[in-house]
Amino acid sequence: MAVEQPMPTAPGDQTRIHNIGYRNYDGPRLGRSYATRSLYSQSLRGAYGLGRSIKSKVLPMLLFVVMCVPAAIMVAVAVATKAKDLPVDYTRYAIIMQAVISLYVASQAPQSVSRDLRFKTVPLYFSRPIETADYVRAKFAALASALFILTAAPLIVLYVGALLAKLDFADQTKGFGQGLVSVALLSLLFAGIGLVIASVTPRRGFGIAAVIAVLTISYGAVSTLQAIADAQGSSSAVPWIGLFSPVTLIDGVQSAFLGASSAFPGAVGPTHAEGVVYVLVVLGLIAAAYGLLLRRYKKVGL
């Protein structure tokens, strides 16, 4: 076996490390679906200010905390007083906290889409493999997921708390599941409405104001009308009026099918037949929002 001679290092060899010439890229190109997923995760992170300036983290994080604190307090009270049930149903929680949710949609929907329009970044996306539909889907899914995190987190707090307080396991799990379905629907609906409004204006301020107006004013108007209808004894009109605001829509769906007690005046929710209409309207609105977004971005193009 030959003794290995140490190779003399050529003086020029070290300079190779510093070679900063152009290198071609031969690695994988993962294409459309990967790009869509990247856009989704970037937008989802962005909805909580991650990967953005500290200033843009403040509001979403604050709203997240505001959403969870009441749940934590309720759990603490339930555990301390050894209550037989949680003070609030899983399905009811999001309805109570709707102002916080609306504020979150109003602040983050424009963040997600208005920025790309305002700074004309959209053409850079569409000069890449992704298509209009991929962009819309990624943005829609990202905001809906962000909303689901916001609305499902307090439910998890409640559920864990309920189990710690040794409440009835089967009962709590059923309620928790119903709550999750309800907030999933709510997340899709609110995300759709928020994005459609925000995608029309490149100005963030307008977007925020418009989303708040649509979500809260419609709720205010609808519940006022419902109260009047109820007071005048025409309670059969109450469920039909409820079709006209996003919050009451979700309320109607869950009181018809998800065992929730209705927040409608007189606590009379829609019947099963009426509930079917509610479900159809919710699904229709989500589909319409998606369709409108597609149309909007077909136009924006380059």
Partner 1 sequence: MVHVTIVEPVTVIATESLSKRFPRVTALDRLSVDVGPGVTGLVGANGAGKSTLIKILLGLSPASEGRAEVLGLDVATKGAAIRERVGYMPEHDCLPPDVSATEFVVHMARMSGLPPTAARERTADTLRHVGLYEERYRPIGGYSTGMKQRVKLAQALVHDPQLVFLDEPTNGLDPVGRDEMLGLIRRIHTDFGISVLVTSHLLGELERTCDHVVIIDGGKLLRSSSTTDFTQTTTTIAVEVTDTDEHPDGTRAMREALHARGVSVEAGSGLPGAGHILLLTAQGEETYDLVRDLVADLGLGLVRMEQRRHHISEVFTSEDEQRKEAAVHGG
Q: Which is nearer to partner 1, 136 or 188 (CB)?
A: 136
| Least gap, CB of 298 to partner 1 (angstroms) | 11
Q: Which is nearer to partner 1, 34 or 169 (CB)?
A: 34
Q: Which is nearer to partner 1, 8 or 21 (CB)?
A: 21
| Least gap, CB of 211 to partner 1 (angstroms) | 21
Q: Which is nearer to partner 1, 35 or 68 (CB)?
A: 35
CA atoms within 13 A on the CB side of 244: 13
| Least gap, CB of 218 to partner 1 (angstroms) | 32
| Least gap, CB of 125 to partner 1 (angstroms) | 6
User: Which whole-number Å values give the CA distances from 102 to 11, 107, 212, in the listed order?
Assistant: 67, 9, 6
| Least gap, CB of 16 to partner 1 (angstroms) | 16
Q: Which residues bind partner 1 (CB under 8 A)?
A: 20-25, 27-32, 34-35, 38-39, 42, 51-53, 56, 115-116, 119-121, 123-131, 301-302
Q: Which is nearer to partner 1, 143 or 152 (CB)?
A: 143
Task: Convert 36-45 to b/e letters by CB count within 10 Å (16 or more is b).
Answer: beebbeebbe
Q: Quick one: three-class SS letters along the chain?
A: CCCCCCCCCCHHHHHHHHCCCCCCCCCCCCHHHHHHHHHHHHHHHHCCCCCCCHHHHHHHHHHHHHHHHHHHHHHHHHHHHCCCCCCCCHHHHHHHCHHHHHHHHHHHHHHHHHHHHHCCCHHHHHCCCCCHHHHHHHHHHHHHHHHHHHHHHHHHHHHHHHHHCCCCHHHHHHHHHHHHHHHHHHHHHHHHHHHHHHHHCCCHHHHHHHHHHHHHHHHHHHHHHHHHHHHCCCHHHHHHHHHHCHHHHHHHHHHHHCCCCCCCHHHCCCCHHHHHHHHHHHHHHHHHHHHHHHHHHHHHCC
| Least gap, CB of 8 to partner 1 (angstroms) | 32
Q: Which is nearer to partner 1, 120 or 295 (CB)?
A: 120
| Least gap, CB of 148 to partner 1 (angstroms) | 23
Q: Which is nearer to partner 1, 7 or 20 (CB)?
A: 20
Q: Which is nearer to partner 1, 119 or 169 (CB)?
A: 119
Closest CA relative to residue 164, chosen from 266, 75, 246: 75
| Least gap, CB of 150 to partner 1 (angstroms) | 23
